[in-house]
Amino acid sequence: MGKQAVVIGSGIAGLASSVHLARKGYQVLVLERHATFGGKLGVFNSEGYRFDMGPSLFTMPNFVYDLLDDDLSKQFNIHKLETLCHYFWDNKQPFRAHSNLDQFVKEASQYFYEDEHKIKSFLEKSKLVYDITSPVFLENSLHKINTYLSKTGIKGIANLWRLDMFKTMNNSLEQRFSSDKLIQLFNRYATYNGSNPYQAPATLNVIPHLEFHYGAYLPKKGMRAIAEIIYEQATRLGVEFKFNSTVNNVRKKSDQIVGIQDNSGVEYPCDICVSDVDAKVLYRNLLKTEVPKKIAKAENSSSALIFYWGISKTFENLDVHNILFSGNYREEFNHLFKYKTIQSDPTVYIHISSKAIPNDAPEGCENWFVMINVPHNDGQDWEAFRAKAREKIIQKVNTVLQTDISPLIETEDYLDPILIEQRTSSDKGSLYGSSSNDRMSAFFRQANFTSSYKNLYFCGGSVHPGGGIPLCLLGANILNKIIPDAED
């Protein structure tokens, strides 16, 4: 029998890690406590509507293709979106952010009355920051000395002074632009990892580059297809999946994990253990040890409140991705992170996959994924919170679209921090583990390995390099670099 690898959890990072481990020669078993794989990339159907439950934005698809055999790559069909996002303000005509960089710069200059050169210069700086930080902060372990001694690591460190690390995202943007609305548009990217642009370092202004350079995509079978194609690749390589398998004990011997036991009472031996579980949850519930202090004290990221609405009408002025902005963005983030609530005028995000995938909704209808950023679970009355938020969202949508959507809602479901915590074991329902509201936040995340157990490795949204599909796949790539081959 060859060397055994056990992966706990089959979120996108766990799936990708199982593929890498199988190719390294391990016999791989994935233990998943739910009846299916995919983590936050869930799906459900209701009265003729199909809803992707989790992440709705897909960038950097090359990380998925890199995992797939050639024939599977041909089966994974994606649609590149011409419009990255359609932005709305209460008192002004909407703005379509075109995926073509030059067209975006030209149209943004005209709409926001900003100099084209300033906008293009900002996006060039975004690319520069990505080129500097990616080899150190995204593609390799932050906690391995070799990362810093490599040629790219040395180059990255030598250029850290160019990253505006001592400015916030908002400060950096205010020094470049005079348009409050354009600043708000770029500040929004802090929400991609659950952070506050008025606190998060300007280094996060790297995020726009990922959209404008790599584009935004939607799989032709919906976001769930990302998990499905990686799962198919894993099973093709011989990875075994055991569903409805809740891990309840991790057997340790000296500095190694030697066995994983689930609710069936069976213990699975392992030479390598990979955890795709929230790091804080793993320490508390499975390793039964204290959470390391630097991880415990890290501020939790924001969460989300999502309504899934089947709408019995089509709206020509909406696109696949839509943002209805708050009139007071700073106050919105104060409420999220300081007061742990929402303000009366929240920013509303609406994702409508049926714009690109007509079968996702009945003819003449649309499937709305309606989301607002909310604080992580801190003991709020979520039933009352949800009712108030629903009222504010409908009020916001009605104001912007000049209609009443209430009678158009044919079917409805929701997801809140309580359900996110229950379904994905995310600590306090945080979507991205910890926030990036401190310039040292990246170093406060759980490393991809631990010195306590030499065969235990970490992946997923709560560990380095972070949450979201691209970063979770990059985390799996890091494990592929640091886990030895089975024959070693």
Angle separating helix axes 116-133 and 151-158, nearest 10 degrees: 140
- Alpha-carbon distance of 472 to 320, in angstroms, equals 23
Contact 307, 412 (CB under 8 A): yes
Pairwise pLDDT comparison (181 vs 2), residue with the higher score: 181
For residue 308, what is the enclosing H or E element? strand 303-311
**Placement of tokens 């990979």 in the chain:** 274
pLDDT in tens, 246-261: 999 999 998 999 999 9
Angle separating helix axes 12-23 and 469-482, nearest 10 degrees: 30
Tokens of 446: 């759980």
- Alpha-carbon distance of 1 to 309, in angstroms, equals 50
Category of 100 on φ-ψ map: left (φ > 0), alpha (ψ -120 to 50) or beta? beta
Contact 225, 68 (CB under 8 A): no
Angle separating helix axes 116-133 and 101-112, nearest 10 degrees: 130
pLDDT in tens, 412-460: 999 999 999 999 989 999 999 888 888 767 667 888 999 899 999 999 9
pLDDT in tens, 203-251: 899 999 999 999 999 999 999 999 999 999 999 999 999 999 999 999 9
Terminal Cα-to-Cα distance of the chain (whole angstroms): 15
Handedness of CA 44, 49, 50, 55 (dihedral sign): negative
Tokens of 16: 């990708």
Pairing of strands 43-46, 409-415: unpaired
The answer on pLDDT for 193 being more than 60 is yes
Q: What is the mean pLDDT of the chain?
A: 93
Question: Could you tell me the pTM of the whole model?
Answer: 0.95
CB atoms within 10 A of CB 150: 15
Can you give the pLDDT at residue 144? 74
Mean pLDDT throughout 81-99?
Answer: 93
Can you give the pLDDT at residue 90? 87
Short-list 303, 352, 301, 345, CA closest to 324: 345
Contact 266, 240 (CB under 8 A): no
Angle separating helix axes 116-133 and 207-214, nearest 10 degrees: 100
Strand, coil or helix: 102: helix
- Alpha-carbon distance of 369 to 390, in angstroms, equals 13
Tokens of 62: 């090359």
The answer on pLDDT for 157 being more than 70 is no
- Alpha-carbon distance of 353 to 58, in angstroms, equals 12
Residue type, 94: P
Mean pLDDT throughout 75-79?
Answer: 96
Burial class (CB in 10 A: 0-12, 13-18, 19+), 410: middle
- pLDDT above 70 as % of the chain: 95
With cut-offs at 50, 70 and 90, classify the pLDDT of residue 140: confident
Can you give the pLDDT at residue 155? 66
Q: What is the DSSP letter of 410?
A: E
Q: Within 13 Å, how many C-alpha atoms sit on residue 17's CB side?
A: 34
**Placement of tokens 């955890």 in the chain:** 275
Tokens of 226: 């990302």
- Alpha-carbon distance of 48 to 42, in angstroms, equals 17
Which residues make Cβ contacts (< 8 Å) with residue 182, sequence separation at least 6?
108, 112, 114, 119
Mean pLDDT throughout 257-280?
Answer: 96
The answer on pLDDT for 402 being more than 70 is yes
Strand, coil or helix: 366: strand
